[in-house]
Amino acid sequence: MVAKRKILIQLDSDADPSVFDRVVAIDAGADEVFSYGGVKPETIRDKVHGAIFTRGPKDLAHTAFFIGGSNVGVGEKLLAEVQRHMLPQFGLRVSVLLDASGANTTAAAAVRSAARHLDLAQARALVLGGTGPVGQRVALLLAQHGAEVRVASRQLERAAHVVQLVQDKAPAGRLEPAAIDGPDDLSAALEGRTLVFAAGAAGVILLPKSARLACKTLRVAVDLNAVPPLGIEGVDVTDKGVDRDGVLGYGALGVGDLKMKIHRAAVARLFESNDQVLDAEQIYALAEAF
């Protein structure tokens, strides 16, 4: 009996399905990638039925969904909808991976990079730009691993909202919000921190060098912004654990290698069984192998 070809069904909320995600899918072992763009929650049901009713339950591990697109909120809705239309009671389901905007694999790579140098359970972290999709997932992974997490935003209400969202997913998490509107707020937010992430919008400096140098407790600084000016002043975009004035720095491209390995591993994992749902936590578990 010839093994079934591995089919990855790419559901992208953007009009043009991501070429990046298609290339990674092939490199990760998919034999065929069926790419759909402009996908909306209301168009999911028929795609799920197409996936689960065509091959018998024994062969469903060779079919899987990848959810991408630049809108992470829509990606989360697509994930919920994909799960809603599967029929696990009859063994009719396929595995699914959510990595809209690369947020899950990027956050996993960022947190895993820091964990090479610090015991996360002892870490006191500050997540700058913590309200974006990547920052929220960084905060979640840190909280799930026992770190003290300060989630920063320019607006306290936005930071508090994210703290609540993360707390709902990680009830034992130790989280607090911080509003940063100027240098005094930044130095207060950095007080006592051992670990900082800059997950702000591209091209925005969130941590100037003077503030970084003034924080004597800081040991690791991870920047996810690859677009100049970079998010952490004095940490180069290609840094990968480089000592910068006594702090180990990672730049966005320094984290990028690991992000790519995690992305490929996550796609490959989809084809190991038909019952996996890979979101931030499960993707981080894969990252721990690297």
Ligand X SMILES: NC(=O)c1ccc[n+]([C@@H]2O[C@H](COP(=O)([O-])OP(=O)(O)OC[C@H]3O[C@@H](n4cnc5c(N)ncnc54)[C@H](OP(=O)(O)O)[C@@H]3O)[C@@H](O)[C@H]2O)c1
Position 111 contacts ligand X (CB under 6 A): no
Residue with tokens 């339950």: 57
Of residues 195 through 234, those in contact with ligand X by CB under 6 A are: 199-202, 204, 224-225
Q: Which residue is nearest to ligand X (CB)?
A: 132
Site string for ligand X, 243-262 (x = CB under 6 A): ---------x---x--x---
Of residues 88 through 107, those in contact with ligand X by CB under 6 A are: 101-103, 106
**Smallest separation (angstroms) from ligand X to the CB of 10:** 17
Position 18 contacts ligand X (CB under 6 A): no
Task: Count the site residues for ligand X by CB under 6 A.
Answer: 24
- Alpha-carbon torsion (191, 223, 72, 278), positive or negative: negative
Tell me how long the chain is: 290
Residue 171, Ramachandran bin (φ over 0: left; ψ between -120 and 50: alpha; else beta): alpha
Closer residue to ligand X, CB minimum distance, 201 or 214: 201
Of 158, 161, 219, 261, the residue at the interface with ligand X (CB under 6 A) is 158
Helix and strand counts by DSSP (H, E) for the chain = 10, 12
Position 68 contacts ligand X (CB under 6 A): no
Q: How far apart are CA 49 and CA 220, in angstroms?
A: 47
The stretch among 91-99, 154-162, 165-173, 265-273 that binds ligand X (CB under 6 A) is 154-162
Instruction: Give the 3-state secondary structure of residue 91.
Output: coil
Position 133 contacts ligand X (CB under 6 A): yes
Position 264 contacts ligand X (CB under 6 A): no
Q: How far apart are CA 8 and CA 69, in angstroms?
A: 15
Do residues 217 and 145 make contact, with C-beta atoms less than 8 angstroms apart? no
**Smallest separation (angstroms) from ligand X to the CB of 205:** 9
The pairing of strands 174-179 and 195-198 is: unpaired
Instruction: Give the 3-state secondary structure of residue 198.
Output: strand
> Binding residues for ligand X, per CB under 6 A?
101-103, 106, 129, 131-135, 153-155, 158, 199-202, 204, 224-225, 252, 256, 259
